[in-house]
Each structure stands twice: as C-alpha cells, then as structure tokens.
Chain A
Amino acid sequence: MTKIIVLIAGLALIGFIIWWFFGKHEVATGTATVANNHQDIDIEVKGGYSPEEVVLEHGVPATLHFTRKDASSCLDHVVFSDFGINQALPQDKQVAVEIDTSKPGEYTWACGMDMFHGKVIIK
C-alpha cells in the first residue's frame, strides 16, 4: 500500500515538473524609461533575469543596469554575443551595460554558461 502511494506521488511529481518547466508560462517583460534622450532599465539577476525581455526604443542610447543578487557562479557574467559584451557582475553591485540601439531587432543575452537567457527587443 505504501509503495502504491509513493508510486502515485512520484508520478504526480514528474507530471508537475513537466508542467512547471515545459509548460507555457508568461515571461516578465519590461520597457525602459526614457528621460533626456536616454533610456534606462533595472534588471535584477536572481535565479534568472527579471525582466527577461526588455523593450528598447530604436535610436535612443540605452543602459541596462544589472544587479546580481544571486550567489550562483552560473550568473556571474552577462554575455551579449551580438555586441561583444562580456560583463562580470559582482554580487549586489549595480553594473551598467550600454546597448547600441542603432539597429532594430532582437538580441539575446545569456549568462556565462549559456544556461539563463534574456532578450532585448529594439523597436
């Protein structure tokens, strides 16, 4: 009897994992605030990036302010392969990353180990 309960619980857990990680879930999107012809947005790095998608205005210089609040070494760098940026993120310190918004498009960023991803959309 115990074994059947354990089996059911285990299978339920597997189902939950599939739903939780592979199901469709909304992604946090943020829009930068524009002031004095410059746009800024804060991004919190904790078990991923929030927001994960950043919408920037085309042609307005932009700065993303990353703050890593996670001790994981997985997240200690942020890499924008399209812009040649590989920025170290010391824990609990705000780090500014300048983004060239001269070309509209979607640019992804990733952590140093390419496990976590985020996206900049320049419109």
Chain B
Amino acid sequence: MKITTRFWVSLILSLPMLIEMILMPFTNFMLPGGHWTMVALTTAVMLISARPFVTSAWASFQKHHSNMDTLVAIGTATAYIYSIYAMLTDKAVFFESAAFVITFVLLGQVLEEKMRDNASDAIEKLVNLQAKEAEVQRDGQFVKIPLADIVAGDLIRVKPGQKVAVDGTIVEGTSTIDESMVTGESMPVSKAAGDKVIGATINSNGTFVFKAEKVGNDTMLAQIVELVKKAQNSHAPIQNLTDKVSDIFVPVVLIIAIATFLIWYVFLGTSVADALIFAVSVMVIACPCALGLATPTALMVGTGRGAKMGILIKNGEVLEAVNDVKTVVFDKTGTITVGKPAVTDVIGDIHQIIPVAAGLEESSEHPLAAAIMTYAKAQNIAATPVEAFKAIEGKGVQAQVNGQKAFVGNDKLLEDVEISADLKTNMLKLQNEAKTVVFVGLDNQVIGLIAIQDAPKATSKEAMAALHARGLKTVMLTGDNQRVAESIAKQVGIDEVIADVLPADKADHIKHLQHSGAVAFVGDGINDAPALTTANVGIAMGSGTDIAIDSGGIVLIKNDLRDVDTALALSKKTFNRIKLNLFWAFIYNVLGIPVAAGLFYGLGLTLSPEIAGLAMAFSSLSVVTSSVLLGKSKITAHTATI
C-alpha cells in the first residue's frame, strides 16, 4: 500500500479520537462506545497503516540493523499493547497516542517524499532538453528520424525554432542560437559555417545544415547529465560524521528509552503508564532520517542549480574544499585571455597597410597571420593580390605587389630596410605595452605597424574585482614572458604574476602557494591538468581540453571567468546549507530526547508522544524543505554589483 493511502487511512480513523480529545475538556464529550470504539479505531490504524513499519523493523532486526521504522514500530506498539492491558485492568489508556503518532509520522513521510522528488528533478529537466527527432539527410533528402538513429557524420538541417539535435559543426547557413539551457549564457550566440553547435540548444532565426560529430552519450548534454548525476549522489566528507552516528543511533535511542522507563518507574516511583509515556516519547521524537537527509538533499539541489547556470560542481568534496580557498591562481592563455591573438593597433594608413598585409598573410600559416586576416575581414578590407610569395625563415614573408616588393615581418627584417623615426617611437611604445609588433613594408620602406596581442576577455577584469571583493588573492601563472604577463595582469587587476613557468613546473608552483592556504586553480589546457589536480579546487574552463575538464573539480561551461566567483558563491552557499541542515537535525535530537525523557519535568516541560511524533515528522520535512529552498535562494555573486 502506498504511503499516501496509509496516511489517509490513519488520518480518517484518528479524527474521531482527535475530536474527542479537543472537545472533552469543555463538554465532557465521549465517543459512543467509549474505550471499545478507541480500541477498534486504533487497531485498524495499527493493522493497516502501521503494519509496514513493524514488518520493516522486524526484517532489519533479523539482520542486526535498525532504522526509523524500528523506533516507530516499538514506540507505537508499546503504547497500543499497554493500553489494551490497561483497559482490561481498568487503568488509564492512551490508544490515541499510538494512532496520532502513526498519522503524524506518515504525514511527514508523504510531504517529505514530495519534497525529495522536487529536489532531484534537475536531472530529469536536463534530459528533457534533448530533441526528440531531427531532419537528417538520407539519400539526398532531408527526412525526420528519431534522435537515437542519428550517427556521427550525418548532415542535419535545423529550421528556425527547432532544437539542435546533437553536437556538430555548421556546414551551411547562419543563425543565432539560444544556448542558455546548456551553457547558462543568456545572450543568443550568432553562428555561421565552421562554428560548433551544441545539442539541445534552440535555433532562433536562420536555417542551417550541420554535420553531426558527437551523438548519444558523447554529446555535451549527455556528459553534463552524467557529471551532474555523479555529483548529486556523491558523498561529502562532512557526511562521515552522520554515517557513524546513524549506525549506532537507533540502538542508543532504544537504550535511552529503556533507561528512561526504569528511572521513572523504579527510582522515581511513578505509575507504569507515566513511565511508559516518557519512554515512548523518547523513541518517537528521535529522528535519524533528518540526519541522513541533511547532506544528500542539499548536495542534490546545489549541484543541480549549478548545472542550470553552466557551472558543474563534480562532487561534495569540492564543495567543502572551496570553503578554505584563500588564493585563486589563473592560467593566462585561454583563461584570462581569449586565447586567440588579435590585432590591437594599426599605425599608419590603414587602407594602405592592411590590403598589403592581408595579401601577403593569406598564404601564411603563422598564428599572427590569422589575427591579421580576421582583422581585415572585420574591417571589410579586401586583400591585394600578390605574386611570387616567399617566406623568409624567422623573419616574415615577402611577395610582389603591383610590381613592387612588399614584406610583412618582425624586427629582424629591419636590418635591410628603412624606418622613420616616428614609426620607431611608436614601435617602442607598443612593445612596452607587451604587444607583438609586425612591420609592413613596400619597396624597402616600412609603411606601417600592426600590433597584435592576445587580449584579455572582456569580463576578466570584472571577475578579478569580484574575487578581490570576496577577500581572495589572485595570481597569474603563465609560461609567457614577464613583460607580457605583467601587462595583462595590470589590465585585469591581478595581484601577483609568476611568469616564465615551464608547463611541468605549474603544479610545483601551486604546491608552493599552498603553504599560505588552500588554492583554487583555473585553467583550460592539457598542460594545466597537473595543476588542476594539485590545487585544492581545480576549476576547468568548459572550452578547454577534455583532460583539463576531467582534472577539474568544477567546470565552467560558459568560459566566463565571472563564473569563478559564482561557483565559489554557490559552493559556499550549498556547504553552509548542509551545515545548517545538520545543525537542525542534531538539535532536534539533542534537545528533543531529554525533553521527551522528562528531564525538565520539574519545570513543567514535557512532550506527549503525539507531539513528539509531530516534531519528528517535521524534523525531516524541515531539512528537506531547507534544501529545496536552496534552489530558490539568491546566489550573491559579487559580480552582480560591479
């Protein structure tokens, strides 16, 4: 029988007794049939609603185990059996206590079950994001097929409003895509051929065709679901305490209950009935469930909420570690900076320089060439056609443009050509800003300079300010040279720079920093993996390599450094909620048991079994509710206020 049914049965059967209890002091109202009616009602409650408690308690007893059911079963059975004996021998009975306790405990379980479902629905919501079908090219035609039939390499057409089925790369068409459900990024992202698309995101205005690359369990969404599942069910170290307590909890409570009875009856000389009531109250108020639920429910809600914001917290250990973090260390390239060098300044006549530079760099494979090409494209400047292209090893490239010799290259080219004093001062100025300067020349004369830099992400500065507001120290750890590193650090406001670090030494530097407190490391590359593992908290950028993502304890899907602050805020909040839950769960028992045992009898403070049952029901309910509320509470990231 379902818990809900059991609850309604016991509630309806208990109601007459409740009415009698309330009305009796005023009107002397008695149930027709007196005690016999009570016996009948309570027996029905015991047989229908309480029997599962007894069977479960007995089954675990045989295995040398005990649980909440043990306490409820023994407590209510004691009250019930004693009352039958008391009725036959004409003493005071307390049938209603047994019935009320069962009703209240079941009420607590019904509500708690609802809340628990509520707490764990994050995964289901994620899975439901998945598209159900897609238009896939088969035999030259686009046909609708179910998601499961899509294989890597399929061409998939996505119309406006449709969901992108799997992960892939656009081959044709442009559009803007709402990726908020996966990355948490609220602004739609524009995409064109060559751009990656993520499964389960929603296409807004354009139609495009993309090639499926990752399907089934390999898609980003599937991986996120897997990560969140693991995180939600992981074990937080703080739970070790409750594990130990829960093993001995119920037997200890039983012993306390027996001792309570013995002390009241044997030593204080109360009646058997009074002594029994104290003992039953002790058994009923003790609630091991609240202790057991405190950590997992908060963990579930906290990690689920993170996933919604594009922040994957991998397990409970990470949550705890975040609390002690004093220093946040960042990798530079790809983490603080965009990771793609870009043109920052052009000195000279832009319409003369860029066509030449673009024409020459079109055929080059140098990373800086890509920066110039992107810039030309963005400025809508066409490349001048060139002839006789030639790369000069270590210096640059040269070619013929309109019959003149043109070149693009670094300062080593300067030995052979002339440069004006004005351009030379500009060059020095740019180099001092830690920019790489490229010279563009025509006919043995330098006509202009192009400065290229891996610029910081627009949000990096804000992210650092937020961490400082949190009282954390920020450090940059990079293999780049000191000048470039310092310039970037200054731009974004980082406290300390450790430059010229070999990839293999990154982890050692982290160890060194750990002497002055716990360290979080934020990185994205393969070379960051050891540092991510060494740090107390490893934070991997979602755009990073799979190895980095595997090594990190927290993954930021959005690639936005501001999420470091949000992740720290969320982790702290979740961990604090766990502590709060545990505090309440313990307090219930630490205070409830002595009161129930009649320790404060002298002060007139006692607990009847039915009140104890109500308190017990609400202890686990309040813990679960507190966890669910975590999903609604405000995450006070400092970024919001800057």
Contacts and interface: CB of A to CB of B under 8 A. Distances in A.
Contact of B67 (A13, A71, A72, A85): A72
A52 B69 CA distance: 20
A51 B410 CA distance: 73
Contacts of B62: 47
B251 interface: yes
Interface residues of A, number: 39
Interface string B244-272: 00101011001100110110011000000
A79 B265 contact: no
Interface string A40-72: 000000111010100000000000000000111
A71 B266 contact: no
Contacts of B239: 114
Nearest to A70: B56
Contact of A71 (B56, B112, B246): B56
Nearest to B300: A86
A17 B56 contact: no
B64 A25 contact: yes
B190 to A, nearest CB: 35
A7 interface: yes
B3 A73 contact: yes
A84 B65 contact: no
Contacts of A14: 255, 258-259
A35 interface: no
A113 B59 contact: no
Contacts of B64: 20-21, 23, 25
Contacts of B61: 20, 47
A105 interface: no
A116 B116 CA distance: 18
B1 A71 contact: yes
B55 interface: yes
Given A21-B64, A47-B61, A47-B62, A114 B255 contact: no
B113 A22 contact: no
B234 interface: yes
Given A71-B52, A74-B56, A47 B65 contact: yes
Contacts of A72: 52-53, 56, 67, 69
Contacts of A83: 230
Interface in B167-217: none
Contacts of B67: 47, 72, 74, 115-116
A115 B288 contact: yes
A116 B64 CA distance: 11
B247 to A, nearest CB: 9
A85 B258 contact: no
B65 A6 contact: no
Contacts of A10: 258-259, 261-262, 266
B58 A47 contact: yes
A103 interface: no
Contacts of B233: 79-81, 84-86
A30 interface: no
A17 B74 CA distance: 13
B68 A115 contact: yes
Most chain B CB within a 10 A radius of its CB, from A6, A50, A70, A115: A115
A17 B251 contact: yes
Contacts of A86: 120, 229, 232-233
Contacts of B234: 81, 84
B273 to A, nearest CB: 14
B60 interface: yes
B251 A18 contact: yes
Contact of A81 (B235, B251, B265): B235
A70 B255 contact: no
Contacts of B232: 84, 86
Interface in B261-292: 261-262, 265-266, 288-289, 292
Contact of B265 (A3, A73, A74, A85): A3
A35 B259 CA distance: 54
B542 interface: no
B63 A22 contact: no
A84 B292 contact: no
Contacts of B1: 71
Interface in B219-251: 226, 229-235, 239, 242-243, 246, 248, 250-251
A73 B243 CA distance: 19
A21 B62 CA distance: 10
Given A17-B258, A48-B60, A84-B230, 4 more contacts: A3-B265, A83-B230, A85-B229, A115-B246
23 contacts: A6-B262, A6-B265, A6-B266, A7-B266, A10-B259, A21-B250, A21-B251, A47-B58, A47-B60, A48-B63, A52-B63, A71-B3, A71-B52, A72-B69, A73-B3, A74-B56, A74-B69, A79-B296, A84-B229, A86-B229, A86-B232, A113-B293, A115-B68
Interface of B: 1, 3, 52-53, 55-69, 109, 112-113, 116, 120, 226, 229-235, 239, 242-243, 246, 248, 250-251, 254-255, 258-259, 261-262, 265-266, 288-289, 292-293, 295-296
Interface of A: 3-4, 6-7, 10-11, 13-14, 17-18, 20-23, 25, 28, 46-48, 50, 52, 70-75, 79-81, 83-86, 112-116
